Amino acid sequence: MSQSREVAADLHEGTGLRLSRAAVPLICLAQLMATLDVTIVNLSLPTVQDAVGLSNAGLAWVVDAYTLAYGGLLLVGGRAGDLLGHRRTLMAGIALFTVASAVAGLADGPEVLLAARAAQGVGAALATPTTLSLITTLVPAGVRRTRAMVAYGSMAGVGITLGLVLGGLLTEYLSWRWVFLVNIPLGIAVLVAAPRVLPDTRGRRRRLDVVGALLGTGALSLLVYAVIDAGAQGWGDGVSTASFAGAAVLLAAFAFVESRAPEPTLPLRLLRHRVRLGAYLVGGLLFASLYPAFFLLSRTLQDLRGLGPVDAGLRFLPIGVGVLAFALATRRLIATTGPRLMVLVGTIATAVAAVALVGLEPTTSYPLVLVPCLVGLGAGVGTTFVATAALSMTDVPEEDAGIAAGLLSTFQAVGGSVGVAVVASLAAARTEQLLGAVDGRPTPAAVREALMSGFGRGFTVTALLAAAAVVAAAVTAPGRGSAPRGSAS
Protein backbone atom coordinates (compact mmCIF):
# COMPACT_ATOMS: atom_id res chain seq x y z
CA MET A 1 0.00 0.00 0.00
CA SER A 2 1.38 3.41 -0.97
CA GLN A 3 2.03 6.16 1.56
CA SER A 4 -0.90 8.18 0.20
CA ARG A 5 -3.24 5.23 0.70
CA GLU A 6 -2.01 4.89 4.26
CA VAL A 7 -2.76 8.56 4.87
CA ALA A 8 -6.26 8.18 3.42
CA ALA A 9 -6.83 5.11 5.57
CA ASP A 10 -5.74 7.02 8.69
CA LEU A 11 -8.21 9.77 7.82
CA HIS A 12 -11.03 7.26 7.44
CA GLU A 13 -10.20 5.79 10.82
CA GLY A 14 -10.51 9.21 12.40
CA THR A 15 -6.91 9.66 13.55
CA GLY A 16 -6.35 12.40 11.01
CA LEU A 17 -9.70 14.19 11.28
CA ARG A 18 -8.31 17.32 12.91
CA LEU A 19 -5.38 17.28 10.49
CA SER A 20 -7.65 17.18 7.47
CA ARG A 21 -9.74 20.10 8.68
CA ALA A 22 -6.61 22.19 9.11
CA ALA A 23 -5.12 21.01 5.83
CA VAL A 24 -7.89 22.05 3.45
CA PRO A 25 -7.87 25.77 4.41
CA LEU A 26 -4.09 25.74 4.12
CA ILE A 27 -4.22 24.14 0.67
CA CYS A 28 -6.83 26.70 -0.40
CA LEU A 29 -4.62 29.54 0.87
CA ALA A 30 -1.75 28.25 -1.26
CA GLN A 31 -4.05 28.06 -4.29
CA LEU A 32 -5.36 31.56 -3.57
CA MET A 33 -1.81 32.95 -3.68
CA ALA A 34 -1.25 31.61 -7.19
CA THR A 35 -4.59 32.79 -8.60
CA LEU A 36 -4.38 36.16 -6.85
CA ASP A 37 -1.17 36.97 -8.68
CA VAL A 38 -2.77 36.44 -12.09
CA THR A 39 -4.79 39.68 -11.85
CA ILE A 40 -3.41 41.71 -8.95
CA VAL A 41 -0.69 43.19 -11.18
CA ASN A 42 -2.98 44.38 -13.98
CA LEU A 43 -4.29 47.63 -12.51
CA SER A 44 -0.82 48.66 -11.26
CA LEU A 45 0.97 48.37 -14.62
CA PRO A 46 0.97 52.09 -15.55
CA THR A 47 2.42 52.97 -12.14
CA VAL A 48 5.01 50.19 -12.39
CA GLN A 49 6.06 51.42 -15.82
CA ASP A 50 6.83 54.91 -14.53
CA ALA A 51 8.53 53.69 -11.34
CA VAL A 52 11.09 51.29 -12.85
CA GLY A 53 11.49 52.80 -16.31
CA LEU A 54 9.90 50.08 -18.44
CA SER A 55 9.25 50.51 -22.15
CA ASN A 56 5.84 49.58 -23.55
CA ALA A 57 7.26 46.26 -24.74
CA GLY A 58 8.89 45.68 -21.38
CA LEU A 59 5.67 46.45 -19.56
CA ALA A 60 3.92 43.57 -21.31
CA TRP A 61 6.64 41.25 -19.99
CA VAL A 62 5.68 42.06 -16.39
CA VAL A 63 2.70 39.80 -17.12
CA ASP A 64 4.26 37.62 -19.80
CA ALA A 65 7.39 36.62 -17.84
CA TYR A 66 5.14 35.09 -15.19
CA THR A 67 2.86 33.45 -17.76
CA LEU A 68 5.74 31.96 -19.76
CA ALA A 69 7.46 30.36 -16.77
CA TYR A 70 4.18 29.22 -15.23
CA GLY A 71 2.70 27.66 -18.36
CA GLY A 72 5.95 26.02 -19.42
CA LEU A 73 6.67 24.24 -16.14
CA LEU A 74 3.24 23.06 -14.96
CA LEU A 75 3.71 19.49 -16.17
CA VAL A 76 7.07 19.27 -14.44
CA GLY A 77 5.54 20.74 -11.28
CA GLY A 78 2.74 18.17 -11.33
CA ARG A 79 5.10 15.23 -11.76
CA ALA A 80 7.54 16.61 -9.16
CA GLY A 81 4.84 16.28 -6.51
CA ASP A 82 4.30 12.63 -7.42
CA LEU A 83 8.02 11.81 -7.32
CA LEU A 84 9.40 14.04 -4.58
CA GLY A 85 6.38 14.38 -2.29
CA HIS A 86 3.37 16.70 -2.54
CA ARG A 87 4.05 18.66 0.66
CA ARG A 88 7.72 19.05 -0.15
CA THR A 89 6.97 20.30 -3.66
CA LEU A 90 4.26 22.65 -2.41
CA MET A 91 6.62 24.16 0.16
CA ALA A 92 9.42 24.53 -2.40
CA GLY A 93 7.06 26.31 -4.79
CA ILE A 94 5.61 28.62 -2.12
CA ALA A 95 9.10 29.42 -0.78
CA LEU A 96 10.35 30.38 -4.24
CA PHE A 97 7.16 32.34 -4.95
CA THR A 98 7.48 34.25 -1.65
CA VAL A 99 11.15 35.13 -2.12
CA ALA A 100 10.52 36.19 -5.71
CA SER A 101 7.62 38.36 -4.55
CA ALA A 102 9.92 40.14 -2.10
CA VAL A 103 12.51 40.73 -4.83
CA ALA A 104 9.83 42.06 -7.22
CA GLY A 105 8.44 44.38 -4.55
CA LEU A 106 11.89 45.81 -3.84
CA ALA A 107 13.07 45.97 -7.47
CA ASP A 108 14.55 49.27 -8.62
CA GLY A 109 15.12 48.34 -12.25
CA PRO A 110 13.33 46.45 -15.04
CA GLU A 111 15.79 43.55 -15.22
CA VAL A 112 15.34 42.60 -11.57
CA LEU A 113 11.57 42.98 -11.73
CA LEU A 114 11.19 40.76 -14.82
CA ALA A 115 13.54 38.10 -13.43
CA ALA A 116 11.53 38.07 -10.20
CA ARG A 117 8.27 37.72 -12.12
CA ALA A 118 9.68 34.71 -13.98
CA ALA A 119 10.76 33.18 -10.65
CA GLN A 120 7.22 33.73 -9.32
CA GLY A 121 5.95 31.75 -12.31
CA VAL A 122 8.30 28.87 -11.55
CA GLY A 123 7.17 28.82 -7.92
CA ALA A 124 3.50 28.87 -8.92
CA ALA A 125 4.09 26.03 -11.41
CA LEU A 126 5.43 23.87 -8.58
CA ALA A 127 2.69 24.79 -6.09
CA THR A 128 -0.51 24.91 -8.16
CA PRO A 129 -0.78 21.26 -9.34
CA THR A 130 0.19 20.04 -5.87
CA THR A 131 -2.77 21.72 -4.16
CA LEU A 132 -5.38 19.69 -6.04
CA SER A 133 -3.44 16.43 -5.72
CA LEU A 134 -3.16 16.96 -1.95
CA ILE A 135 -6.94 17.21 -1.65
CA THR A 136 -7.53 13.98 -3.56
CA THR A 137 -4.93 12.07 -1.53
CA LEU A 138 -5.61 13.50 1.93
CA VAL A 139 -9.37 14.02 2.12
CA PRO A 140 -11.54 10.90 2.22
CA ALA A 141 -14.13 10.46 -0.52
CA GLY A 142 -17.70 11.55 0.09
CA VAL A 143 -19.18 14.70 1.57
CA ARG A 144 -15.89 15.93 3.00
CA ARG A 145 -14.08 15.68 -0.32
CA THR A 146 -16.97 17.41 -2.09
CA ARG A 147 -16.73 20.29 0.38
CA ALA A 148 -12.97 20.44 -0.09
CA MET A 149 -13.35 20.49 -3.87
CA VAL A 150 -15.89 23.32 -3.61
CA ALA A 151 -13.52 25.35 -1.46
CA TYR A 152 -10.64 24.64 -3.83
CA GLY A 153 -12.63 25.43 -6.97
CA SER A 154 -13.95 28.71 -5.56
CA MET A 155 -10.37 29.93 -4.98
CA ALA A 156 -9.97 30.58 -8.71
CA GLY A 157 -12.81 33.08 -8.87
CA VAL A 158 -12.10 34.57 -5.44
CA GLY A 159 -8.43 35.01 -6.36
CA ILE A 160 -9.23 36.67 -9.68
CA THR A 161 -11.77 39.04 -8.11
CA LEU A 162 -9.70 39.81 -5.02
CA GLY A 163 -6.67 40.44 -7.24
CA LEU A 164 -8.50 43.06 -9.26
CA VAL A 165 -9.82 44.81 -6.14
CA LEU A 166 -6.61 44.61 -4.11
CA GLY A 167 -4.48 45.64 -7.07
CA GLY A 168 -6.33 48.93 -7.35
CA LEU A 169 -6.49 49.59 -3.61
CA LEU A 170 -2.82 48.83 -2.94
CA THR A 171 -1.61 50.82 -5.93
CA GLU A 172 -3.66 53.91 -5.17
CA TYR A 173 -3.41 54.05 -1.37
CA LEU A 174 -0.04 52.42 -0.59
CA SER A 175 2.39 51.64 -3.41
CA TRP A 176 2.64 49.39 -6.45
CA ARG A 177 5.31 47.49 -4.48
CA TRP A 178 2.63 46.10 -2.15
CA VAL A 179 1.06 44.30 -5.08
CA PHE A 180 4.01 41.92 -4.71
CA LEU A 181 4.88 42.34 -1.03
CA VAL A 182 1.38 41.25 0.05
CA ASN A 183 2.43 37.69 -0.86
CA ILE A 184 5.10 37.60 1.86
CA PRO A 185 2.86 37.14 4.95
CA LEU A 186 0.68 34.68 3.04
CA GLY A 187 3.70 32.64 1.97
CA ILE A 188 5.19 32.62 5.46
CA ALA A 189 1.88 31.41 6.89
CA VAL A 190 1.79 28.48 4.44
CA LEU A 191 5.44 27.56 5.07
CA VAL A 192 5.06 27.63 8.85
CA ALA A 193 1.82 25.63 8.90
CA ALA A 194 2.51 23.06 6.17
CA PRO A 195 4.90 20.78 8.10
CA ARG A 196 2.46 20.72 11.00
CA VAL A 197 -0.75 19.84 9.14
CA LEU A 198 0.22 18.15 5.85
CA PRO A 199 1.67 14.64 5.56
CA ASP A 200 4.18 14.38 2.72
CA THR A 201 2.29 12.07 0.35
CA ARG A 202 3.83 10.80 -2.87
CA GLY A 203 3.42 8.09 -5.45
CA ARG A 204 5.70 5.08 -5.77
CA ARG A 205 9.38 5.85 -6.19
CA ARG A 206 10.56 5.91 -9.80
CA ARG A 207 13.10 7.50 -12.05
CA LEU A 208 12.66 11.02 -13.37
CA ASP A 209 11.97 11.14 -17.10
CA VAL A 210 14.57 13.83 -17.84
CA VAL A 211 14.23 13.81 -21.63
CA GLY A 212 10.44 13.93 -21.49
CA ALA A 213 10.48 16.71 -18.89
CA LEU A 214 12.84 18.83 -21.02
CA LEU A 215 10.84 18.26 -24.21
CA GLY A 216 7.50 18.96 -22.51
CA THR A 217 8.78 22.12 -20.84
CA GLY A 218 10.37 23.32 -24.09
CA ALA A 219 7.20 22.66 -26.11
CA LEU A 220 4.90 24.46 -23.67
CA SER A 221 7.32 27.37 -23.20
CA LEU A 222 7.69 27.87 -26.96
CA LEU A 223 3.92 27.62 -27.44
CA VAL A 224 3.20 30.23 -24.76
CA TYR A 225 5.97 32.49 -26.09
CA ALA A 226 4.64 32.15 -29.66
CA VAL A 227 1.17 33.19 -28.54
CA ILE A 228 2.52 36.13 -26.55
CA ASP A 229 4.68 37.31 -29.47
CA ALA A 230 1.90 36.85 -32.02
CA GLY A 231 -0.49 38.85 -29.86
CA ALA A 232 1.99 41.72 -29.67
CA GLN A 233 3.60 41.62 -33.14
CA GLY A 234 0.87 40.07 -35.30
CA TRP A 235 0.06 36.49 -36.24
CA GLY A 236 2.22 36.64 -39.36
CA ASP A 237 5.34 37.67 -37.44
CA GLY A 238 8.38 35.54 -38.32
CA VAL A 239 9.47 34.96 -34.72
CA SER A 240 6.05 33.77 -33.62
CA THR A 241 5.70 31.54 -36.70
CA ALA A 242 9.08 29.94 -36.04
CA SER A 243 8.14 29.51 -32.36
CA PHE A 244 4.87 27.79 -33.26
CA ALA A 245 6.76 25.46 -35.59
CA GLY A 246 9.36 24.72 -32.92
CA ALA A 247 6.64 24.04 -30.36
CA ALA A 248 4.96 21.59 -32.77
CA VAL A 249 8.24 19.72 -33.36
CA LEU A 250 9.01 19.51 -29.64
CA LEU A 251 5.46 18.43 -28.87
CA ALA A 252 5.67 15.63 -31.43
CA ALA A 253 9.02 14.53 -29.99
CA PHE A 254 7.53 14.69 -26.49
CA ALA A 255 4.62 12.45 -27.49
CA PHE A 256 7.02 9.97 -29.14
CA VAL A 257 9.30 9.80 -26.09
CA GLU A 258 6.42 9.54 -23.62
CA SER A 259 4.79 6.70 -25.55
CA ARG A 260 7.97 4.64 -25.13
CA ALA A 261 9.30 5.77 -21.76
CA PRO A 262 8.91 3.14 -19.00
CA GLU A 263 8.15 5.87 -16.43
CA PRO A 264 6.98 8.91 -18.42
CA THR A 265 6.53 12.46 -17.18
CA LEU A 266 3.06 12.44 -18.76
CA PRO A 267 1.40 9.03 -19.04
CA LEU A 268 -0.53 9.45 -22.29
CA ARG A 269 -3.31 7.22 -20.95
CA LEU A 270 -4.45 10.20 -18.86
CA LEU A 271 -5.51 11.92 -22.10
CA ARG A 272 -7.41 8.89 -23.43
CA HIS A 273 -10.09 9.06 -20.73
CA ARG A 274 -13.19 10.81 -22.10
CA VAL A 275 -14.28 12.39 -18.81
CA ARG A 276 -10.83 13.69 -17.87
CA LEU A 277 -10.21 15.01 -21.38
CA GLY A 278 -13.56 16.78 -21.28
CA ALA A 279 -12.65 18.42 -17.98
CA TYR A 280 -9.33 19.59 -19.43
CA LEU A 281 -11.01 21.00 -22.55
CA VAL A 282 -13.72 22.79 -20.57
CA GLY A 283 -11.12 24.27 -18.22
CA GLY A 284 -8.96 25.50 -21.10
CA LEU A 285 -11.86 26.98 -23.07
CA LEU A 286 -13.31 28.73 -20.02
CA PHE A 287 -9.99 30.36 -19.15
CA ALA A 288 -9.63 31.33 -22.82
CA SER A 289 -12.99 33.09 -22.53
CA LEU A 290 -12.85 34.53 -19.02
CA TYR A 291 -9.36 36.05 -18.95
CA PRO A 292 -9.81 38.16 -22.09
CA ALA A 293 -13.31 39.12 -20.91
CA PHE A 294 -11.80 40.50 -17.68
CA PHE A 295 -9.09 42.23 -19.73
CA LEU A 296 -11.65 43.92 -22.00
CA LEU A 297 -13.89 44.89 -19.09
CA SER A 298 -10.94 46.47 -17.30
CA ARG A 299 -10.05 48.44 -20.42
CA THR A 300 -13.66 49.54 -20.88
CA LEU A 301 -13.99 50.76 -17.30
CA GLN A 302 -10.69 52.66 -17.32
CA ASP A 303 -10.19 53.80 -20.93
CA LEU A 304 -13.80 54.55 -21.86
CA ARG A 305 -15.48 55.32 -18.54
CA GLY A 306 -12.47 57.09 -17.06
CA LEU A 307 -12.45 55.17 -13.78
CA GLY A 308 -9.33 55.01 -11.62
CA PRO A 309 -7.74 51.74 -10.43
CA VAL A 310 -9.77 51.57 -7.21
CA ASP A 311 -13.14 52.35 -8.79
CA ALA A 312 -12.47 49.94 -11.65
CA GLY A 313 -11.39 47.19 -9.29
CA LEU A 314 -14.43 47.58 -7.04
CA ARG A 315 -16.71 47.20 -10.08
CA PHE A 316 -15.57 43.56 -10.31
CA LEU A 317 -16.88 42.61 -6.86
CA PRO A 318 -20.11 41.04 -8.25
CA ILE A 319 -17.92 38.32 -9.77
CA GLY A 320 -16.84 37.31 -6.27
CA VAL A 321 -20.46 37.33 -5.10
CA GLY A 322 -21.40 35.00 -7.97
CA VAL A 323 -18.47 32.70 -7.27
CA LEU A 324 -19.22 32.28 -3.57
CA ALA A 325 -22.99 31.95 -3.95
CA PHE A 326 -22.84 29.35 -6.71
CA ALA A 327 -19.90 27.47 -5.18
CA LEU A 328 -21.99 26.99 -2.03
CA ALA A 329 -24.96 25.91 -4.12
CA THR A 330 -22.77 23.48 -6.00
CA ARG A 331 -21.68 21.87 -2.74
CA ARG A 332 -25.30 20.98 -2.01
CA LEU A 333 -26.30 19.99 -5.55
CA ILE A 334 -23.37 18.06 -6.96
CA ALA A 335 -23.93 15.03 -4.73
CA THR A 336 -27.47 14.54 -6.06
CA THR A 337 -27.39 15.96 -9.60
CA GLY A 338 -23.98 14.64 -10.60
CA PRO A 339 -21.06 16.63 -12.01
CA ARG A 340 -22.38 16.75 -15.59
CA LEU A 341 -25.24 19.08 -14.74
CA MET A 342 -22.95 21.36 -12.73
CA VAL A 343 -20.48 21.62 -15.61
CA LEU A 344 -23.29 22.39 -18.05
CA VAL A 345 -24.89 24.98 -15.75
CA GLY A 346 -21.56 26.70 -15.23
CA THR A 347 -20.57 26.83 -18.88
CA ILE A 348 -24.04 28.00 -19.93
CA ALA A 349 -23.99 30.77 -17.30
CA THR A 350 -20.60 31.90 -18.60
CA ALA A 351 -21.76 31.81 -22.21
CA VAL A 352 -24.94 33.80 -21.51
CA ALA A 353 -22.98 36.47 -19.65
CA ALA A 354 -20.35 36.59 -22.40
CA VAL A 355 -23.00 37.00 -25.09
CA ALA A 356 -24.60 39.85 -23.13
CA LEU A 357 -21.25 41.68 -23.09
CA VAL A 358 -21.01 41.72 -26.90
CA GLY A 359 -23.23 44.81 -27.09
CA LEU A 360 -21.44 46.66 -24.29
CA GLU A 361 -21.22 50.45 -24.73
CA PRO A 362 -19.57 53.17 -22.64
CA THR A 363 -23.04 54.28 -21.55
CA THR A 364 -24.30 50.78 -20.68
CA SER A 365 -25.93 50.75 -17.24
CA TYR A 366 -23.66 49.24 -14.62
CA PRO A 367 -26.37 48.11 -12.15
CA LEU A 368 -28.87 46.93 -14.78
CA VAL A 369 -26.54 45.23 -17.29
CA LEU A 370 -22.97 44.89 -16.07
CA VAL A 371 -23.78 43.62 -12.58
CA PRO A 372 -25.90 40.69 -13.89
CA CYS A 373 -23.17 39.89 -16.43
CA LEU A 374 -20.47 39.89 -13.76
CA VAL A 375 -22.58 37.72 -11.45
CA GLY A 376 -23.13 35.37 -14.39
CA LEU A 377 -19.39 35.10 -14.99
CA GLY A 378 -18.92 34.43 -11.29
CA ALA A 379 -21.62 31.77 -11.40
CA GLY A 380 -19.75 30.06 -14.21
CA VAL A 381 -16.55 30.06 -12.19
CA GLY A 382 -18.23 28.93 -8.98
CA THR A 383 -19.93 25.92 -10.55
CA THR A 384 -17.67 24.84 -13.40
CA PHE A 385 -14.29 25.09 -11.72
CA VAL A 386 -15.50 22.96 -8.82
CA ALA A 387 -16.89 20.27 -11.13
CA THR A 388 -13.94 20.24 -13.55
CA ALA A 389 -11.48 19.95 -10.66
CA ALA A 390 -13.33 16.83 -9.51
CA LEU A 391 -13.78 15.40 -13.01
CA SER A 392 -10.12 15.91 -13.89
CA MET A 393 -9.21 13.41 -11.16
CA THR A 394 -11.65 10.72 -12.36
CA ASP A 395 -10.09 7.23 -12.23
CA VAL A 396 -6.62 8.70 -11.64
CA PRO A 397 -4.21 6.36 -9.80
CA GLU A 398 -2.95 8.03 -6.65
CA GLU A 399 0.65 7.90 -7.90
CA ASP A 400 -0.41 10.07 -10.86
CA ALA A 401 -2.51 12.61 -8.91
CA GLY A 402 0.06 15.38 -9.30
CA ILE A 403 0.47 15.10 -13.05
CA ALA A 404 -3.32 14.82 -13.54
CA ALA A 405 -3.77 18.06 -11.59
CA GLY A 406 -0.87 19.56 -13.54
CA LEU A 407 -2.63 18.78 -16.79
CA LEU A 408 -5.74 20.67 -15.72
CA SER A 409 -3.62 23.65 -14.67
CA THR A 410 -1.71 23.46 -17.96
CA PHE A 411 -4.88 23.54 -20.08
CA GLN A 412 -6.17 26.47 -18.01
CA ALA A 413 -2.91 28.45 -18.19
CA VAL A 414 -2.36 27.89 -21.91
CA GLY A 415 -6.04 28.55 -22.61
CA GLY A 416 -5.89 31.85 -20.73
CA SER A 417 -2.67 32.90 -22.51
CA VAL A 418 -4.01 32.02 -25.95
CA GLY A 419 -7.36 33.68 -25.24
CA VAL A 420 -5.88 36.98 -24.10
CA ALA A 421 -3.37 37.12 -26.97
CA VAL A 422 -5.94 36.30 -29.66
CA VAL A 423 -8.69 38.54 -28.33
CA ALA A 424 -6.38 41.48 -27.59
CA SER A 425 -4.80 41.33 -31.05
CA LEU A 426 -8.17 41.09 -32.83
CA ALA A 427 -9.56 43.99 -30.80
CA ALA A 428 -6.47 46.11 -31.49
CA ALA A 429 -6.58 45.31 -35.21
CA ARG A 430 -10.22 46.42 -35.44
CA THR A 431 -9.47 49.65 -33.55
CA GLU A 432 -6.46 50.44 -35.77
CA GLN A 433 -8.49 49.71 -38.89
CA LEU A 434 -11.18 52.23 -37.91
CA LEU A 435 -8.69 54.90 -36.82
CA GLY A 436 -6.73 54.43 -40.02
CA ALA A 437 -9.83 55.22 -42.06
CA VAL A 438 -10.25 58.62 -40.37
CA ASP A 439 -9.05 61.64 -42.31
CA GLY A 440 -6.61 63.66 -40.25
CA ARG A 441 -6.21 63.33 -36.54
CA PRO A 442 -9.03 61.30 -34.92
CA THR A 443 -11.25 63.17 -32.47
CA PRO A 444 -11.66 61.82 -28.92
CA ALA A 445 -15.14 60.65 -29.89
CA ALA A 446 -13.72 58.74 -32.88
CA VAL A 447 -11.09 57.13 -30.68
CA ARG A 448 -13.71 56.01 -28.17
CA GLU A 449 -15.89 54.61 -30.96
CA ALA A 450 -12.95 52.74 -32.48
CA LEU A 451 -11.94 51.31 -29.11
CA MET A 452 -15.45 50.14 -28.35
CA SER A 453 -15.77 48.54 -31.77
CA GLY A 454 -12.55 46.67 -31.15
CA PHE A 455 -13.71 45.61 -27.71
CA GLY A 456 -16.99 44.45 -29.23
CA ARG A 457 -15.10 42.17 -31.62
CA GLY A 458 -13.12 40.84 -28.67
CA PHE A 459 -16.25 40.17 -26.63
CA THR A 460 -17.69 38.29 -29.63
CA VAL A 461 -14.70 35.95 -29.60
CA THR A 462 -14.99 35.40 -25.84
CA ALA A 463 -18.66 34.49 -26.34
CA LEU A 464 -17.73 31.96 -29.04
CA LEU A 465 -15.12 30.40 -26.78
CA ALA A 466 -17.64 30.14 -23.95
CA ALA A 467 -20.09 28.49 -26.35
CA ALA A 468 -17.38 26.00 -27.32
CA ALA A 469 -16.98 25.19 -23.61
CA VAL A 470 -20.70 24.40 -23.43
CA VAL A 471 -20.35 21.99 -26.35
CA ALA A 472 -17.30 20.32 -24.78
CA ALA A 473 -19.17 19.93 -21.49
CA ALA A 474 -22.22 18.43 -23.18
CA VAL A 475 -20.25 15.98 -25.31
CA THR A 476 -17.62 14.70 -22.91
CA ALA A 477 -18.94 14.96 -19.33
CA PRO A 478 -20.40 11.84 -17.64
CA GLY A 479 -24.09 11.50 -17.10
CA ARG A 480 -26.18 11.72 -13.94
CA GLY A 481 -24.96 9.49 -11.19
CA SER A 482 -21.56 8.81 -12.76
CA ALA A 483 -19.49 10.44 -10.08
CA PRO A 484 -15.75 10.52 -10.55
CA ARG A 485 -14.38 7.17 -9.47
CA GLY A 486 -11.32 8.82 -8.07
CA SER A 487 -13.57 10.81 -5.79
CA ALA A 488 -15.58 7.92 -4.54
CA SER A 489 -13.15 5.14 -4.00
Nearest-angstrom CA–CA distance, 281 and 414: 11
| Superfamily covering domain 3-195+265-479 | MFS general substrate transporter like domains (1.20.1250.20)
Give the DSSP per-residue string, 29-70: HHHHHHHHHHHTTGGGHHHHHHHHT--HHHHHHHHHHHHHHH
pTM for the structure as a whole: 0.81
All structural domains of the chain with their residue ranges: 3-195+265-479, 210-264
Give the DSSP per-residue string, 216-269: HHHHHHHHHHHHHHHHHH-TT-HHHHHHHHHHHHHHHHHHHHHHH-SS-SS-GG
CA dihedral 205, 208, 209, 210 (to 10 degrees): 180
Give the DSSP per-residue string, 119-167: HHHHHHHHHHHHHHHHHHHHSPTTHHHHHHHHHHHHHHHHHHHHHHHHH
pLDDT by position in tens, the chain (length 489): 344 343 343 444 333 434 456 788 888 888 888 888 877 887 787 788 888 887 766 777 888 788 888 888 888 888 888 888 889 999 999 999 999 999 999 998 889 999 999 999 999 999 988 887 888 778 776 777 777 877 777 787 778 778 878 888 888 888 889 999 999 999 999 999 999 888 877 655 566 778 888 898 888 888 888 887 887 777 778 888 999 999 999 999 999 998 888 878 888 888 888 888 888 999 899 989 988 888 888 888 888 888 877 888 888 888 888 887 887 777 777 767 777 788 888 899 999 999 999 988 878 888 888 899 999 888 888 888 878 877 877 777 777 777 887 788 888 888 888 888 888 888 888 888 888 887 778 888 888 888 889 889 999 999 999 999 999 988 875 544 444 444 433
Nearest-angstrom CA–CA distance, 400 and 207: 14
